[in-house]
Amino acid sequence: MKYDAAIIGAGTAGVYAAYELTRLCPDAKIVVLEMGGDIYSRSCPIVAGKVRDCISCKPCSIMSGFGGAGAFSDGKYNFTTQFGGWLGEYLPDNELLALIDYVDSVNVSFGATEEVFSTETPEARELEKRALEHDLHLLQAKCKHLGTERNLKILSNIYEHLREKCEFRFRTAVEHIARKDGGFVLTTADGDTVECRFCIAAPGRCGAEWFSECCGKLGLSLTNNQVDLGVRVELPAKVFEHITSVVYESKLIYRTKLYGDHVRTFCKNPYGHVVAENVDVLITVNGHSYADPKLRSENTNFALLVSNRFTEPFDQPYQYGKHIASLSNMLGGGVLVQRFGDLVRGVRTNEHRLAHSFTRPTLNATPGDLSLVLPKRHMDNIIEMIYALDKIAPGTANYDTLLYGVEVKFYSARLKLTRELESELPGFYAIGDGAGITRGLAQAGASGVVAARAIAQKLK
């Protein structure tokens, strides 16, 4: 085989798989295949100020390229097994936490902050108590905020370290994976082939659907995974300041009284910006937050997500999420924005109404009616959650609180894997968010380390 190992995808999981493999096996021949560009060529025209609206670049620089979707995130790194993925189903908690600490130590060596926010302080415990009084459950975790701009610097340093130790092929999309002579042959969109002894699939969220299709062609059994659907909330930063100053990333879970469904806060960005991202030519919404005070806004944004795990006979959660996102794109040409008060009243937000909002939007989205996009059950859950949050952060349910839609977190159907994340096909490993194993920077990086260490043992 030409390569000892090939890694598909240079997101967080793929990057840490490459880092650990090159550290443990410096003489191994390793190639990383990435459909996007390197860290220096990733540039979104909206972020650069060249255009106001998404022009559907292929591939999307926000979602693809070295560092993956996490490169342009606000860089929240959570030290916990309670959320951020499902690696705890494969590893004991103590091993998983040790891996998360290890990945953090690597980040620190490349410039990450050592400042940690914790839920173990007296102020955080008081916040937890107050949340419980209103049936809101604060998940326990330590958290680091790397910051969008510092996150890019860290990734640039890692890229400079790795580019001399393994081969990177950017703008190279893998279309087909096949077995050959006890190893694998990967066929790219350009018709080139790459032969390797071991293959690590780290497709990222934008490659989740492709990865499921590949696994089906390889005859690998898949278990249905979930899709998270919801909105991104934007409001004045002072509303949540008493919470974000104590626990930067407060993960709050609520079980609705109407349906008994779980709704959770996700990716909270104090003084942040709402941004659009392109997933398979569908425009969805996300949020960023900078570490530099000069780059901050006056608003805080966070996602409210309802998780959907489907049962038989339905087995297409990814397509379900895409369909919901397509409705938003159909109605608004991209992301829709609606004032909470308008939503509750049952009226569409228009340009005139939005212009009178006290909360000024940080994203140029189309005013509209989210009740025409999200299913009623989701909408009812989100409204009930906002009223619950208003009890611990008065002002959350203000008329002018902005809701952007839709926010979708896609995860691939999950393979049957060993504790080393090896599939039923010997030598074929699956890691990261796009493989349905993780949903966050910490566990994604940890999953890459797990697979790399397993392969290193076999190479030695």
Same domain, 234 and 324: yes
Same domain, 281 and 329: yes
User: Count of domains in the chain?
Assistant: 2
Same domain, 246 and 361: yes
pLDDT of residue 421: 97
Q: Residue 52 above 70 pLDDT?
A: no
Same domain, 280 and 398: yes
Residue 123 domain-assigned (yes or no): no
Same domain, 96 and 171: yes
| Inter-residue long-range contacts of 375-381, CB under 8 Å, 24+ positions, other chains counted | 375/324, 377/259, 377/261, 377/306, 378/229, 378/230, 378/306, 379/343, 380/256, 380/258, 380/259, 381/256, 381/258, 381/259, 381/261, 381/263, 381/306
Q: Residue 48 above 70 pLDDT?
A: no
Place 55 in a pLDDT band, splitting at 50, 70 and 90.
Answer: low
Same domain, 13 and 71: yes
In this predicted structure, which of 20-34, 109-123, 260-274, 324-338 has the lowest mean pLDDT? 109-123
Q: Residue 50 above 90 pLDDT?
A: no
Taking only the tens place, the pLDDT of each residue in 171-227 is 999 999 999 989 999 999 999 999 999 999 999 888 888 998 899 899 998 876 677
Average pLDDT of the chain to the nearest whole number:
91
Q: What is the mean pLDDT of residues 124-148?
A: 88
Residue 58 domain-assigned (yes or no): yes
pTM, 2 dp: 0.80
Same domain, 394 and 446: no
* DSSP H or E run through 185: strand 183-188
The strand pairing partners of 145, in sequence order, are 76
pLDDT of residue 311: 72
Looking up residue 434, the CATH number of its domain turns out to be 3.50.50.60
Q: Residue 97 above 60 pLDDT?
A: yes
pLDDT of residue 118: 80
Residue 140 domain-assigned (yes or no): no
Same domain, 103 and 73: yes
Q: Residue 45 above 80 pLDDT?
A: no
